[in-house]
């Protein structure tokens, strides 16, 4: 598996095709796929719902009502990861989506470690020092909702040593939340580099260093929402305007070649004579699609380290072309902060596999309408005071119309994935979803990427009290 992953690192860093290209391929080839094999609606539901997850916060004194998540793999094994957790020492929530490339190793590792680094930096310093005095571990600050497993013992020990150094380093340093989140990303990446150089004989540690991952993390405490993003996952806020219309607000910048400021930043960090080679064919050093990432140290290490640890172990092919003035890649995040209001209803975080098919506006409208239609499924509640028979009749008629729009999926992340794969101008087309779900493993990645989605719902009543 490692050999496959590492080979993948050279030859298939990130295969991206545009949504338009995929759509075209569908119309050209779908008949062939449909005629050979078509899933039943039951089969489609089973596949789409296999990884559904939801969590409800029963405590009313909470900014969040709950969240819904789902994942549909394209790569085998899937290279996306996701984690959601509540803070142990305060009423705050953190979650992230991590999209790996050149294997799943880096994505799996940062999906656990990054939230722990961020959490330690966000607890107050007195609490942090008390926890250190008690002999805290990386798991002393968060209660994870979707994952109870940890790393194998051999690497866990190495990771805990790094974490311990990190918390001791920051224990007496006051930082703003933004500084703490920024430092957590850079320190974790630096620790992963040091761990690889120190334990280059450990295959698992090197697999993490030779693969990479992008991350998008949301932290919510009271009305303060922060989105920390490195790479090309994205977060979008859904809110209602004065007329009740669903509106979207992007809370992340993608770090890819569509982002002009990002391309300028990278070019400015290297001599002018490298202008034609730093980014070529929309990829960093003609290989890597995301322009910021965790891991991927063969785009970060010096030439001397590359010779000693990479070329000698993996061969010349592992040296990116035109590698003159490293580092070319950074894990530095962009952080966007937003103060929640009662109009803000939900946040959608997703890997690029979703955004290849749906725009932020489409996603917000789909989740907003899904949310409205679910309301019709709640028990009937009549307004206070005198109600006429005519009014009751109007309410019942509205509910009946709403029930006809009842979504197939209770989970809004599944609703989004279903629309991503099967959406047409005329609604969901079953044969189109079936086509995407039955593509052979050796070509499926050309048509769709791993898709991971988390939808977080805000508690407007509680937010109103905080305002």
Applying CB under 5 A, the residues found at the interface with Mg ion are 99, 351-353, 449
Those residues whose C-beta lies under 8 Å from the C-beta of residue 276, and which sit 6 or more positions away, are none
Q: Interior CA angle at 464 toward 460 and 467, to 5°?
A: 135
d(CA 435, CA 429): 10
Please name the residue that has the structure tokens 């295969």: 15
Whether the upstream peptide bond of residue 77 has omega within 30° of 0, thus cis, is yes
- Residue nearer to Mg ion on the CB measure, 64 or 213: 213
Q: How many residues does the chain have?
A: 467
Q: Which long-range contacts (CB under 8 A, 24 or more apart) does 172-177 make?
A: 172/125, 172/129, 173/125, 174/125, 175/121, 177/122, 177/219, 177/224, 177/226, 177/337
Those residues whose C-beta lies under 8 Å from the C-beta of residue 466, and which sit 6 or more positions away, are 63, 222, 223
C-alpha closest to that of 274 among 260, 285, 288, 263? 285
* Alpha-carbon distances of 378 from 63, 381, 382, 389, 399, rounded to whole Å: 22, 8, 12, 21, 10
CA quadruple 17, 421, 232, 123: dihedral, nearest 10: -160
Number of C-beta neighbours around residue 311 at 10 A: 16
Please check whether residue 111 is in contact with residue 71, taking contact to mean a CB–CB distance below 8 angstroms.
Answer: no
């Amino acid at each position: 598996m490692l050999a496959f992953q590492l080979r993948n690192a050279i030859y298939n860093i990130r295969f991206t095709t545009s949504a338009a290209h995929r759509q075209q391929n569908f119309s050209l080839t779908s008949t062939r796929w449909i005629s050979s094999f078509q899933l039943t609606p039951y089969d489609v539901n089973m596949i789409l719902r296999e990884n559904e997850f939801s969590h409800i916060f029963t405590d009313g004194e909470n900014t969040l009502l709950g969240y819904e998540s789902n994942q549909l793999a394209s790569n085998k094994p899937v290279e996306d990861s996701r984690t959601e957790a509540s803070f142990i020492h305060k009423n705050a929530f953190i979650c992230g989506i991590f999209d790996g490339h050149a294997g799943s190793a880096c994505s799996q590792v940062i999906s656990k470690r990054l939230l722990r680094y961020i959490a330690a930096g966000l607890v107050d310093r007195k609490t942090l020092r008390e926890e250190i005095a008690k002999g805290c571990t990386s798991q002393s600050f968060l209660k994870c909702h979707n994952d109870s497993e940890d790393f194998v013992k051999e690497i866990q020990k190495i990771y805990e040593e790094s974490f311990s150094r990190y918390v001791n380093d920051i224990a007496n340093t006051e930082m703003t939340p933004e500084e703490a989140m920024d430092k957590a990303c850079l320190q974790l990446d630096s620790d992963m580099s040091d761990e690889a150089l120190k334990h280059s004989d450990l295959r698992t540690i090197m697999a993490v260093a030779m693969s990479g991952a992008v991350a998008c993390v949301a932290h919510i405490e009271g009305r303060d929402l922060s989105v920390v993003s490195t790479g090309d996952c994205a977060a979008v806020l859904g809110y209602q305007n004065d007329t009740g219309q669903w509106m979207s607000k992007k809370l992340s910048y993608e770090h890819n070649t569509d982002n002009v400021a990002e391309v300028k930043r990278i070019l400015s960090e290297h001599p002018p004579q490298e202008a034609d080679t730093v980014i070529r064919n929309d990829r960093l050093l003609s290989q890597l699609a995301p322009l910021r990432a965790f891991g991927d140290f063969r785009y970060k290490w010096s030439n001397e380290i590359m010779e000693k640890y990479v070329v000698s172990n993996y061969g010349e092919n592992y040296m990116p072309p035109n590698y003159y003035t490293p580092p070319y890649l950074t894990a530095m995040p962009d952080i966007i902060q937003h103060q929640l209001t009662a109009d803000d209803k939900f946040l959608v975080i997703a890997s690029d596999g979703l955004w290849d098919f749906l725009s932020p506006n489409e996603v917000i409208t789909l989740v907003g309408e899904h949310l409205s239609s679910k309301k019709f499924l709640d028990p009937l509640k009549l307004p206070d005071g005198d109600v006429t028979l005519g009014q009751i009749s109007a309410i019942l008629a509205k509910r009946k119309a709403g029930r006809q729009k009842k979504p197939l999926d209770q989970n809004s992340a599944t609703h989004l994935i279903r629309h991503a794969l099967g959406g047409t101008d005329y609604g969901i087309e079953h044969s189109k979803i079936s086509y995407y779900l039955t593509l052979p493993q050796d070509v499926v990645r050309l048509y769709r990427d791993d898709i991971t989605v988390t939808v977080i719902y805000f508690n407007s009543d509680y937010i109103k009290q905080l305002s």
